[in-house]
Amino acid sequence: MKMTLQDLLAPITPERFFAEFHDRQPLHIEGHPARFAEVLDWAGINRLLDMSHIWTETSFRLVLDSVPVPPSQYSVKATSRDGASVLQPVAQKVQDWVRRGASVVMNDVDSLTPGLAAVSDALEGAGLGKAQANVYISFQQHKAFHSHYDTHDVWAVQVEGEKTWNIWEGRADYPIPHPIFRGQKQDHHDRAKGALRGQVLLKKGDILYLPRGWYHDALAEAPNSVHIAYGVHAPLGMDVLNILSERAIYDTEFRKPLPRQDGSAAAKYALSQQLAALGARLTDLAKDPKVLEVLEGFIRDYRFQRGGFDLLAARGGAPPAAMDATPTGPRFRVAEPGAKPVRRGNDFGLRTAGGVVPLSFGEVEATAWILARPVVAESELAAAWPGLDAPALIARLRKAGVLAGP
C-alpha cells in the first residue's frame, strides 16, 4: 500500500499546506468515511492486540478519565521472548476496564501493518521528519487526556467513530522531549492554553494537523472512537551541535585542556579567551562545505527505516502466489457508501436509496465492514467473516446497487 502527502491532504495541495499551515496553524481536512479503510479498522485492531507478546507496560496503556490505570491492574508478570521481565496485558482484564470506559493506547505501531506504515511513509517521504504512530481507542464522554501540547507535530487520522477536539489559542514555544517541558504541571498548562480557538468534530475519514506545541484536548462523540496519532519529529537546530561535535574531534583546539581555575582574575581571563577562540572555531566549522554536506544528508534521510525486506528477490526469485498479500478474485466497488445498517425490533437490514435490504445480524456487521472500504474482494470478505456466505452477500449487495463491478 502506497500513499503520498497529496493523498493525505487532498483536496488541499502540498504547496498550500506548506505556505499556510505547516508550523503555522492547525488544519482540519474532511474526508470520505472509507478514506482510511485500508489503514486500520476494528478487525485490524483485534489482529494487532492478538500479537500478545509485543505488548508491555510501555507499549500498551489504559487511561480512565485522564488518569492512567496502573499496568499491574490489567497485566500479568511475564518473561518476554528475549528473557526480560515485563508486564503483559491480559485480555479479560483489559476488557473489564474498557467496559468502565477506559481508553486504550497502543504505542509505536507504525511498522506493524502495511496500512499503518503507508501514512508514516507518506509523511516521511515529504521530508517532514520521523513519523511514529500511536493508536487511541476511546469511548463516549470519557476523556483520555487533559489539555496539553505535544513536542512534535501531530497528524490525527480518524479511522472509526467521531471525536471532538478542543483547539486552544496557546502554543508552547518549540518544546522538546526534555524534563524542563515534560515536568510542567497541569495548572501551568491550564493557564498557558489560553482561550478556546475553536472545536473540530473529527469524523471517520478526517485528518487533523496540529503544529508542535499547540494546546489541545479531545472527547469521543460516538460510542466508539479510534484515531491514529502520527507524531512527526523534525530535525532540530540542536542536532547541528551533534554534527559539529563529531567534526570538532578532528580539530586540535577542541582537544586541548581548558585552563585550570584557581579563582584568580588571570585564570578567568584565560578561560574566557579560550572560550572565545572555540566559538570562533565553531563558526568556521559551521561554514565548512563538508559539514553542510553532512547536515543536508542528515535532514534528507531523517526518517525511520521500516519494511523493504524481500528475501526471495535477493536470491533472484519472486514470492509464490500463495504468499502474495493481494486479494484474489474480482474486486467490487462500494457504489453507495451512504447506505446505513438499521434495526427494527429483532429484524436487521441495510437502508439504501432503493429501500431496506433485509439482512441477518451477522450480515449487517459484515456489510458495515464492507462499507468502510472503497473496494472489496470476495476472498477478503470470506477471510474476515469465515462463518458468512460471502458470495451470497456480495450478490445481494450488487443487486441492491450497494456494490458495483467488476
Residue 338 pLDDT grade (very low, low, confident, very high; cuts 50, 70, 90): confident
pLDDT (tens digit, 9 = 90+) per residue, 263-278?
A: 999 999 999 999 999 9
DSSP labels, 161-229: S-EEEEEEEEE-SS--SSHHHHT--HHHHHHHT-SEEEEEEE-TT-EEEE-TTEEEEEEE-SSEEEEEE
Return the pLDDT at 323.
41
Q: What is the mean pLDDT of the chain?
A: 90
Q: Tell me the residue ranges of DSSP E strands in 285-359.
A: 331-334, 340-344, 347-352, 355-359
Looking at residue 52, the DSSP 8-state letter turns out to be G
Task: Give the SS3 label for residue 331.
Answer: strand
Give yes or no for residue 342 having a pLDDT over 70. Answer: yes
Q: Can you give the pTM of this predicted structure? A: 0.76
pLDDT (tens digit, 9 = 90+) per residue, 126-151?
A: 999 999 999 999 987 766 688 999 99
Sign of the dihedral through C-alpha 297, 119, 31, 152: negative
> Which of residues 208 and 350 earns the better pLDDT score?
208
pLDDT (tens digit, 9 = 90+) per residue, 165-191?
A: 999 999 999 999 999 999 999 999 999
Return the pLDDT at 87.
94
pLDDT (tens digit, 9 = 90+) per residue, 102-129?
A: 999 999 999 999 999 999 999 999 999 9
Give yes or no for residue 321 having a pLDDT over 60. Answer: no
Return the pLDDT at 317.
67
Task: Give the SS3 label for residue 257.
Answer: coil
Round to whole Å and give the CA distance between 137 and 146. 16
Return the pLDDT at 142.
67
| Residue 95 cell numbers, joined | 476488557
Give yes or no for residue 376 having a pLDDT over 90. Answer: no
My answer on whether omega of the bond before 406 falls inside 30° of 0, hence cis, is yes
| Residue 176 cell numbers, joined | 522538546
pLDDT (tens digit, 9 = 90+) per residue, 7-35?
A: 999 999 999 999 999 999 999 999 988 88
